[in-house]
Amino acid sequence: MYDEAAVQLLIKAKYAGAMADTSTYLNLVMQAGAVLIGGIVLWRMSATIHKKKMAQRAGRANYFETTYSRYWRKK
């Protein structure tokens, strides 16, 4: 399956410390991906909550609407 020279090269690389960095980098990449995905999820949740709040506010009467402003528009 594997060439003997390739296997020996991999073994030497592992015990020389060259392959020890690979797991560190892989762990770092996994953490960065998790932070990115988590940030996107939180961003979308925040946008959804904001949309619901804005929909509730739109259903209420305007804050600045008074009887004067209602009749003024009709004239």
What is the Cα–Cα distance from 2 to 23, expressed in whole angstroms?
Answer: 22
Q: Report the pLDDT value the prediction gives residue 50, as an integer from 0 to 100.
A: 94
50 with 44: CB under 8 angstroms?
Answer: no
pLDDT in tens, 61-75: 566 677 777 777 665
Q: What is the pTM of this model?
A: 0.53
Taking the CA atoms of 7, 9, 30 and 36 in sequence, report the sign of the dihedral they define. Answer: negative
State what percent of residues in the chain have pLDDT above 70: 77
Taking the CA atoms of 33, 38, 41 and 47 in sequence, report the sign of the dihedral they define. Answer: negative
Assess whether pLDDT exceeds 90 at residue 58. Answer: no
Q: Report the pLDDT value the prediction gives residue 37, as an integer from 0 to 100.
A: 98
Assess whether pLDDT exceeds 90 at residue 35. Answer: yes
Phi and psi angles of residue 63, each rounded to the nearest 5 degrees, phi first: -65, -35
